[in-house]
Structure 1
C-alpha cells in the first residue's frame, strides 16, 4: 500500500511516501514561506523522484492540526481533494502527535510537543509510548505555558519538550519544572512526515466530506467576527 503524507500545519512543510517496505521518499523544509504555492510542486516532485504517479497512491494521511490556521487549512484541503479525486481513503492525525512520535519511542518518559499560540499560550498535549504504541496521556489543548508547566509539575518523572517554538517558552517551563524539563535537540524539532505516514498507515479512512481540521480555537479574525455578530443581536 502506497501512502502519501502531507503536513503543512506549521512552518515546516513535510511530504512523505511510504509503503509496507518502508519510507520511499521524504521532503522537509522549515521556512516562513507560503505553503499554498509550494505544497503541490513538492508533492509532484516527490512522486516524480520516486517514480510514482497519483494513480499509484492508496491512502492520504494529513496532519489535521492544531497549528497555523492557514497552514492547517491548506494541508487538509489538498488532502481531501486528492483523496476524493483518486477515490482513496483519507486519515487525519494530530499535528502534535506527529511531533511526539519522532522522539517518543526513544525516551523513557512523557513527551510534550508544543507549538506557540501567542500571548503566552501554546498548543500542546502529553504523549508516551506504551507497549510500542504512542498513547495520549493528556489531550491536545490550548493553554498558557505557565499553567501547563504547573500541571506537569505533579508528575514524578522527566518530560521531554519538543518543537521549534520551545525557545519562546523554555524559561517558564524550566523555572517551574527545573531538571524535570528536558529539551529536545534542535535537529529533532521538525515533525517528520514519514512518522505521519506511519501513524496513519493502518488507520481506517474517514468520511471525506465531513472531515474537518482540528484548530482547537477559532482563528482570531473569525472569533472577532462572531463576537461582533453577537453584539448586533
Structure 2
C-alpha cells in the first residue's frame, strides 16, 4: 500500500512516502516558517522526485495533535482534502505517539513532551519495550502541569525516557523530581520522523473516511475559550 504521511503539528514540518516495504522519501524541516505556505509544495516535490502520481496513493496518514492549534489544523485540513479528492482512506495518528516512537526499545517508560504554555505540557506515557514495532500506549494524551505529571511518573518507579524538543528547557525540574531515573533522548532523537507515522498507521491505525477525522487539541483553543466566555455572558 502506497501511503503518504503528513505532520505539521509542531514547528517541525514532516512528510513521508512509502510503499509496502520501502520508504520512498522523507522531508523534514525544523524551522519557524509558515506550514500553510510550504506544505503542498513539499508534498508535490517529494511525490515528483519519487515518481508518484496522486492517483498512485492508496492511503494518507496525518498527525491529529495535540500540538499547535494552527499547525494541527493545517495538516488535518490538507490531508482530509487530499483523501476526499482521491477517495482513499485517512489514518489519524497521535502526535505524541509519533514522538514516542523515537524511544522504541528503551527499557522503561517513554514520555513525549510538547509545550502547552503556562507550565503545562501535552504528554502521554508509553512502554518502550514491545514485541511490536511501535511503543505501547499506557496513558491517554493529555494536557497537564509538568510538576503534576512528574509526580505521577515518580510513583511508577521506572526509568523514564523524555523525548521532544521541549525537554531541554525542563531538564532541571525533571531531574529534581525523578533523579537518575530521568533519561533524555539524544539531540538527534528529539525531532520526530514522519516515516513513523506510517509505521503506526499500518500497525495499529484505523482507516477512516476523510470527514470523520478531526483535530485532537486536548483543550479548547484560546479563541474558542474566549468565544464561549462571551456566549456565557450573553446568556446570563
- TM band (smaller chain): over 0.9
Match for residue 209 of structure 1? 211
2:229 equivalent in structure 1: 227
Q: What CA deviation, in whole Å up to 9, does each residue of 1:57-95 have, x standing for no partner?
A: 000000000000000000000000000000100000000
Instruction: Show the counterpart of 2:54.
Output: 54
2:163 is matched with: 162
Aligned twin of 1:107: 106
The equivalent residue for 2:23 is 23
In structure 2, the residue matched to 1:77 is 77
**Partner SS for 1:16:** strand
Q: TM-score, normalised by structure 2?
A: 0.95
Given the two structures, how large is their TM-score scaled by the length of structure 1?
A: 0.97
Gaps of 5+ in 2: none
Three-state SS of the structure 2 residue aligned to 1:117 is: strand
Q: Deviations over 1:174-218 (max 9, x none)?
A: 110011110111111111100001111253311321321100101
- Report what 1:198 is aligned to: 199
Please say if residues 63 and 93 of structure 1, whose CA atoms lie closer than 8 Å, have aligned partners that are also in contact. yes
Q: Are the aligned partners of 1:65 and 1:72 in contact in 2 as well (CA < 8 Å)?
A: yes
Q: 2: distance between equivalents of 1:182 and 1:126?
A: 14
Question: What secondary structure is seen at the aligned counterpart in 1 of 2:96?
Answer: helix
Question: 2:92·2:206 contact (CA, 8 Å) conserved in 1?
Answer: no
Q: Deviations over 1:125-167 (max 9, x none)?
A: 0011422242111111000010010000011211000000112
Could you list the per-position Cα deviations for residues 23-70 of structure 1 after superposition, in whole angstroms to 9, with x for gaps in the alignment?
Answer: 110000000110000000000000011111111100000000000000
1:116/1:168 contact within 8 Å kept: no
SS in 2 for 1:38: helix
Q: Which residue of structure 2 lines up, in the alignment, with residue 138 of structure 1?
A: 139
